[in-house]
Amino acid sequence: MNAIIHHIPDELLIAYANGTLGQAYSLVVAAHVSMCDESRARLGAHQAVGGALLENAGTETVSDRARAAVFDRLDMPVKEAPPIRASGIFPEPVMEALGGLPPRWKPLGLGVRQMILNHDAEGSARLLYIPGGQAVPDHGHNGLELTLVLQGAFRDETGRFGVGDVEVADGDLEHEPIAEEGEACICLAATDAALRFRSLVPRLLQPIFRI
């Protein structure tokens, strides 16, 4: 594996550590952190700071009834599902989102495929399969897009992204990612708004493919 050079920004790691990051982005962060020692160490540092702040925070008195309800819930038996492990190119967080099963790809055209893992009012997360040498249509962003490479690599106006790298794209970036020749590029992508395509056909297909 090539060295990972494009990491999750600190502000997103902090939001993830605080539990305030949306589900789609949290999936990308969790997957990247599982692949990257540097980002995992930075996340651990942010979590340690958050823990220290909690220790120094004041306490609130709760009623005996509320306390009893909490302990009753803790005493309830819990059925634990078998753990889902990483498989092939897919790290554990992605396999959990897949329910432990292989991706079920849906064609987007020109050999490009996707599988939507999560789609709600806050955003969406999806796997993308891009054949070697194939380009994704030129597009901009109405929000924030995080793209984590799981296999292969792609290039765009900002540089090269290999396995473990994350591209952070916002409204200032318009690009045309192209998968490198050779094996297909497989990515995990999360967005909080629809993409902004320049050409007509992708715009017409957006409602169908939810991109």
Q: Can you give the pLDDT at residue 171? A: 74
Q: What is the pTM of this model?
A: 0.81
Other CB atoms within 10 Å distance of the CB of residue 81: 6
Which residue type, as a one-letter code, is found at position 169?
A
pLDDT band at 175 (very low <50, low <70, confident <90, very high): confident
Q: Which sequence spans correspond to the domains of the chain?
A: 1-211
Q: Is 166 helix (H, G, I), strand (E, B) or coil?
A: strand
pLDDT band at 122 (very low <50, low <70, confident <90, very high): confident
Q: Can you give the pLDDT at residue 172? A: 82
How far is the C-alpha of 166 from the C-alpha of 180, rounded, in Å? 16
Q: Can you give the pLDDT at residue 192? A: 84
> What mean pLDDT do residues 17-32 have?
96
Whether the predicted pLDDT of 32 surpasses 80: yes
Q: Can you give the pLDDT at residue 139? A: 77
Superfamily of domain 1-211: Jelly Rolls (2.60.120.10)
High-pLDDT (> 70) share of the chain, % = 76
Nearest to 190 by CA among 126, 138, 143, 139: 126
Whether the predicted pLDDT of 195 surpasses 70: no
What digits encode the pLDDT tens for the residues 56-111? 555 566 567 656 665 566 566 666 667 889 999 999 999 999 999 999 999 988 89
Nearest to 26 by CA among 106, 116, 94, 98: 94
How far is the C-alpha of 175 from the C-alpha of 155, rounded, in Å? 10
How far is the C-alpha of 132 from the C-alpha of 146, rounded, in Å? 21
Whether the predicted pLDDT of 204 surpasses 80: no
Q: Can you give the pLDDT at residue 127? A: 98
